[in-house]
Amino acid sequence: MIPQSQVSCQTDSSDRGTWQSQLISAIRDPEVLCQRLRLNTSDLSLSAQAHKDFPLLVPIAFAELMETGNPDDPLLLQVLNRSEEDTNPPGYSDDPLQEQGFNPLPGLVHKYPGRVLLIVTGKCAINCRYCFRRSFAYGDNNPGRQDWQAAISYIRERSNITEVIYSGGDPLSAPDKHLAWLTEQLEEIPHLKRLRIHTRLPVVIPDRINDDFLSWVTKSRLRTQVVLHINHPNEIGEELIKAVKKLINAGIQPLNQSVLLRGINDSVETLQALQEAGFDAGIMPYYLFCLDRVRGASHFEVPLNKAHKIWTELQQRLPGYLVPRLALEEPGENSKTLL
């Protein structure tokens, strides 16, 4: 028996503080990040312009998973504003998926039958350099409560829509109060069955999976699916493993989608380690995406034939249930394109 005096007070936050305070104290200065990792900014060929266009943003919990003194650290390369971003090869654009055309209302993207995507917020807890939303028109896609009524009516009027996907930005950078409110509105639509949350937040601030989040999710009549976004096995630290346990205990089976990124995870060994570490933590694979051709991300591109070769070898090495679907998003298609 533990004497009562030694039982610590149960709160939502770890020693890092609440997820909101961790968001506020995230690193926003490339110099600060480099100093922390004992790297010389002068050796790294950073781009001030890239930082201005899409500022560096890294929560401390994620920075702590990076290796000190390694300029090629796979987590660092995902967030650092490097001069390669300044090149602008043909085929790369600000809206590679042409989502603007599938945006019938502010905050709602309806491309695939049966499911709609809600841009719950334009904010993220981290800025990933390869992100296809790095130039998305968030200003027009940040609806307030009143605007949500239009999106909710759109779904109510279409009885073939059975699933709502919370997206962004990162939907979990929105406050739980707002998410709980929106979910309650959606629950009143009888033909809706499922809620899906696509989020990287628990990966970069594991304390995001707290009691406030779990209480509205578990209360919902909608079956909930959480899709995490992890690209490299080093992103799966002790704190994320604990957060995933909480999801599983709440009856949610987390999935993972990754983006195939040159110099970060474009090897069979790394991808195998990622699936195995994920499975050990209780996460099942979903998609492995080829890069969207967004301006500033061309240095991350893996040619399709190489992607397919890596994937084929991965399929040979892993049990079928640990092989993510290799996919590509093409404008105008009714689903992701499987390769």
Ligand X SMILES: *Cc1c(COP(=O)(O)O)cnc(C)c1O
Residue, CB closest to ligand SF4: 131
- Smallest separation, CB 125 to ligand SF4 (Å): 7
H or E element at residue 225? strand 223-229
Distance CA 119, CA 86 (A): 28
Q: Does 33 engage in binding with ligand X (CB under 6 A)?
A: no
17 by Cβ neighbours in 10 Å (0-12 / 13-18 / 19+) ranks as: middle
263, 321, 305, 229 alpha-carbon torsion, rounded to 10°:
-40
Q: Does 194 engage in binding with ligand X (CB under 6 A)?
A: no
Q: Does 16 engage in binding with ligand X (CB under 6 A)?
A: no
Question: Cβ distance 193 to 222 under 8 Å?
Answer: yes
CA angle 23, 260, 172 (to 5 degrees): 25
Paired tokens of 240 = 């994320």
Task: Indicate the residue among 149 and 335 with the shorter CB distance to ligand X.
Answer: 335
For the chain, the residue count is 339
Residue 87 to residues 103, 292, 294, Cα–Cα distance (Å): 29, 16, 12
Distance CA 256, CA 156 (A): 29
Which span (12-20, 30-38, 66-74, 109-117) binds ligand X, by CB under 6 A? 109-117
- Smallest separation, CB 116 to ligand X (Å): 7
Binding residues (CB under 6 A) for ligand SF4: these are: 124, 126-128, 131, 133, 168-170, 200, 229
CA angle 223, 224, 226 (to 5 degrees): 155
Enumerate the β-bridge partners of residue 289. 259, 327
From 173, 185, 176, 175, select the one nearest 146 (Cα to Cα). 185
Q: Does 112 engage in binding with ligand X (CB under 6 A)?
A: yes
- Smallest separation, CB 115 to ligand X (Å): 5
Residue 336 interacting partner from ligand X, ligand SF4, none (CB closer than 5 to 8 Å by kind): ligand X
Task: Indicate the residue among 21 and 335 with the shorter CB distance to ligand X.
Answer: 335
- Three-class DSSP category at 287: strand
Distance CA 52, CA 277 (A): 35
Residue 302 interacting partner from ligand X, ligand SF4, none (CB closer than 5 to 8 Å by kind): none
- Smallest separation, CB 104 to ligand X (Å): 12
Residue 229 interacting partner from ligand X, ligand SF4, none (CB closer than 5 to 8 Å by kind): ligand SF4
Out of 65, 109, 161, 274, the only residue in the binding site for ligand X (CB under 6 A) is 109
- Smallest separation, CB 129 to ligand SF4 (Å): 8
Which span (1-9, 107-115, 205-213, 263-271) binds ligand X, by CB under 6 A? 107-115
Residue 124 interacting partner from ligand SF4, ligand X, none (CB closer than 5 to 8 Å by kind): ligand SF4
# binding residues, ligand X (CB under 6 A)? 8
Task: Indicate the residue among 127 and 256 with the shorter CB distance to ligand SF4.
Answer: 127
Q: Does 111 engage in binding with ligand X (CB under 6 A)?
A: yes
Q: Which residues bind ligand X (CB under 6 A)?
A: 109, 111-112, 115, 117, 165, 335-336
